[in-house]
Amino acid sequence: MEKGQAKKVGRPKVEVDYEAVERLAGQLCNQKLICEILHLSRDTMSHDKEFQRAYNDGLGSAKRTLLNKQFEMAKNGNQVLLTWLGKNYLEQADKMETKNEDRVTIVIAGDDKDL
């Protein structure tokens, strides 16, 4: 080692393929699975802001693609998807009315002196 150079301490920096992270997240892989596939430490990646950005970008892309496909199917008349989209995005709900007209009469029998 040359004079004036600091000795490197600790583990070598991990090389992360952030494009692969984004691509796998775009296939709806969770972070645990992505770390297993790419041989990364889940604990280390939980602190890596670039990993989190790539993961969130990929996941967001997958969700947009899925929602667009569902929306197209709903526009083509898929009743189940129309109902699901209405409930989840328009706050629509199934309304169930119940009407109870039964009356209950309570009779207490006994001597009034005990009360």
Q: How far is CA 67 from the centre of its chain?
A: 14
One-letter amino acid of 60 = G
Average pLDDT over the chain, rounded to an integer:
86
Distance CA 40, CA 15 (A): 9
Q: What phi and psi values does residue 88 have, to the nearest 5 degrees?
A: -85, -25
pTM above 0.85, yes or no: no
Q: CA-to-CA distance for 101 and 43, rounded, in angstroms? A: 60
Residue-wise pLDDT for 48-104, tens only, equals 999 999 999 999 999 999 888 988 998 898 998 888 888 887 888 887 777 777 777
For residue 3, the model assigns a pLDDT of: 67
Q: What gap in Å lies between CA 98 and CA 61, rounded to an integer? A: 43
pLDDT band at residue 10 under the 50/70/90 scheme: confident
Higher pLDDT among residues 97 and 39, named by residue: 39
Please name the amino acid found at residue 56.
N
- CA distances from residue 50 to 22, 32, 44, 79 in whole angstroms, order as listed: 10, 16, 12, 40
